Amino acid sequence: MREMQKYAYPIFLAVMAVLPHLLNSRWQAVAITFLIFTVVALSQDIILGKSGMFNMGQALFFGMGAYTTAILNHQLGWSIVATIPLAILIPAIFGVVLAGPIVHLRGDYLLVVTIGFNIVFVQVLQNNLGGVTGGPNGIFGLDSLSLFGINLASQVAVYYFAFLVLLATLWVMRNLEKSKPGRALHYLREDQLAAESIGINTRIYKIFAFGLGAGIAGLAGTVYATQYAAVSPEAFEFIQSVLFFSIVLVGGSSIPGILLGVFVMFVLPEIFREFATWRFFIFGFAMIAAMILRPRGIWPATFGKIPKFLIKGGSHGA
Amino acid sequence: MDIFLQQLANGLTIGSMFALVALGYTMVYGVMKLINFAHGDMVAASAFVGLTIYTQVMGQATSLLAVITIFLLSAVCMACVGVILERVAYRPLRKAPRLSAVVSALGASLVIQNGIMLIWGPRMRIFPELVPQVYWDLGGVVISLIQVIILTLSLVLMVSLYLFVEKTRMGAAIRASSIDQDAARLMGINVNSIIALIFIIGSSLGAVGGLFIGLYYRGITFNMGWQYGLYAFIAAILGGIGNIPGAMLGGMLLGLFNAFIAGYVSSTWADAFTFILLILILIVRPTGILGERVAEKV
């Protein structure tokens, strides 16, 4: 089993690295979607899985990144790559500012407030606040990817852009797990009172987790805007947040679990059209079952009945 | 002034619908300390069940008797769903960490919402016109028969619920279970039946709320439960969650708030203002207006 753990990641990454050359253009697009939503789900995992905060507004930060890129590119003529720093920074700042007054709320209240943020955000986009969001139609006709004057318009280039973002996210999460903030988040998720009593400033770390998760989601938003060359409000409705939330929960806050969740929710519906209408129904049952069969399933994430090699990278920190 | 009175009438109508739905949240919260996220979807389901009873069972009759039957049958159906929901999704988790139950509630919400979609389809359905379209013009303020019925019936239901909880032995058992379940058990109260009772009452009131929503707005969609559910939940928090008169007051206030925003600002911003209100309440006074039970901060 240990051997499998050691090889699973390199094999997965190697397969992902050569994947676009094995697929036709339709499946390349599906693969890009898979990468983008994996990054968003991982960013949700930082807030929900790693820190235990019931955030159901991740689509807000995702959308904010996408809109930052779209507005800067379309209205101000920045190149896509040049928008990346702001597409990370603006959602991260919003994450910090929005989280500030609410992180002390208990899980279920936090959940409702973050839904509220998401709904307010979509309403702001639809009402075309400041005349820059394009209203209900959104913004379309973004430039394609280019770097140092080299045009990277092909879908394969976008795929590698998304892949690079995924690698960066995995790297951040790996480092987070082994760093002081990561350990602090781990403690405060397990027992906030105990964490406070050993001198961890839980408030600061919670806000930090929100900012980090928001920034990564924003970066994924840039990739999304690049892939579709357009953004529109309905892509960031809070039902999307529900998706990310349930993927992280059912996936048990582990990387294989999240990959599987994103695959089931976004790739399977492409293969079986019929499944698209059933996916939420089935996921709802999965959420109930996961809680009943493993009442402490996510708290902490120990999925005892699942073979051990699948739990590698689980939030227990291995 | 006209616009004020008109929005007052509209606000009281939608407020009483919010209040009916909010009672379901607040009663479950009072006893189980759980936000029943599936409640909003049960409200939506009730509108669809009512639609089906009207077309399939009642043969599209709109006599008074038929309308009463539709209300009763829908309420019974939703009460059964409520009891099953509690038995399957919540009871096994009563001793588990409470956020597990919240996740289970979210799962149940997705199951019910998408169950509606699988049965009745994803498109908007039109709720039948069970009540004749009668309007009265009172000096520039237009009030419809539907509004009067909704307001009166809601008030009757709320007053009866209040009297039931405050004046009867069973009501005392509900109050005792919400204060301390273990102590209630020691006093010989069957807490399991009380919880089942809570789900029966809450779900039937929600069912009536769902039918009112159908009657008032006419268009019903499978995912409307989230919207009305969230509004009702905000109403419950506004009044002080766990507090029955609080839910009624919160519902009315939220209905008025919404109507005035729609009347004086813009209906396209109503959701945003409502959620900003919620966020402010949770930051400034998380116990709500009448809430003595402190919203825990851990």
Please list the residues that pair with B142 across neighbouring strands. Answer: B137
Q: In this predicted model, what pLDDT tens digit does every residue of A42-83 receive, in sequence order? A: 999 888 888 888 888 899 999 999 999 999 888 888 888 888
Contacts of B275 in chain A (CB under 8 A): 115-117, 119-120
In a domain, B298, yes or no: no
In a domain, B290, yes or no: no
CA nearest neighbour of A200 among A48, A46, A51, A45 = A51
C-alpha B247: how far from chain center: 9
Coil/strand/helix, residue A201: coil
A107 and chain B: CB distance < 8 Å anywhere? yes
Q: In this predicted model, what pLDDT tens digit does every residue of B101-143 receive, in sequence order? A: 888 888 999 999 999 999 998 888 888 888 888 888 887 788 8
Sequence ranges of the domains in chain A? 23-237
CA nearest neighbour of B185 among B94, B118, B119 = B94
Q: What is the Cα–Cα distance from B110 to B88, expressed in whole angstroms?
A: 15
pTM: 0.83
Give the residue from chain B lying closest to A117, CA to CA: B275
Query: What pLDDT is attached to residue A300?
Result: 43
Q: In this predicted model, what pLDDT tens digit does every residue of A214-232 receive, in sequence order? A: 999 999 999 999 888 888 8
Query: What pLDDT is attached to residue A149?
Result: 66
* Contact between chains at A299 and B100 (C-beta distance less than 8 A): yes
Residue B290: both structure tokens together? 């009448």
Question: What is the enclosing helix (H) or strand (E) of A60?
Answer: helix A58-76
In a domain, B206, yes or no: yes
| Disruptive mutation site among A102, A108, A237, A243 for chain B (greatest number of B CBs within 10 Å) | A108
Give me the residues of chain B with pLDDT under 50, please: 294-298
Residue B157: both structure tokens together? 């239901």
CA nearest neighbour of A301 among A129, A199, A146, A186 = A186
Q: Which residues have a Cβ under 8 Å from the Cβ of B32 and sit 6 or more positions away?
A: B90, B94, B101, B195, B198
Model ipTM value: 0.82
Give me the residues of chain A with pLDDT under 50, please: 1, 297-318
Domain count, chain B: 1
In a domain, B107, yes or no: yes
Give the residue from chain B lying closest to A289, CA to CA: B104
Burial of B170 (0-12, 13-18, 19+ CB in 10 A): middle
Q: Are the C-beta atoms of residues B170 and B164 closer than 8 Å to each other?
A: yes
At residue A280's C-alpha, the angle toward residues A279 and A282, to 5°, is 65
Q: How many Cα neighbours within 13 Å face the side chain of A210?
A: 26
Which residue among A104, A113, A278 sits closest to B278, beta carbon to beta carbon?
A113
Q: What is the Cα–Cα distance from B11 to B1, expressed in whole angstroms?
A: 15
In a domain, B108, yes or no: yes
Look up the CATH number of the domain holding residue B49: 1.10.3470
* Contact between chains at A287 and B103 (C-beta distance less than 8 A): yes
Phi-psi map region of B176: left, alpha, beta (phi>0 left; psi -120 to 50 alpha): alpha
Contacts of A203 in chain B (CB under 8 A): none
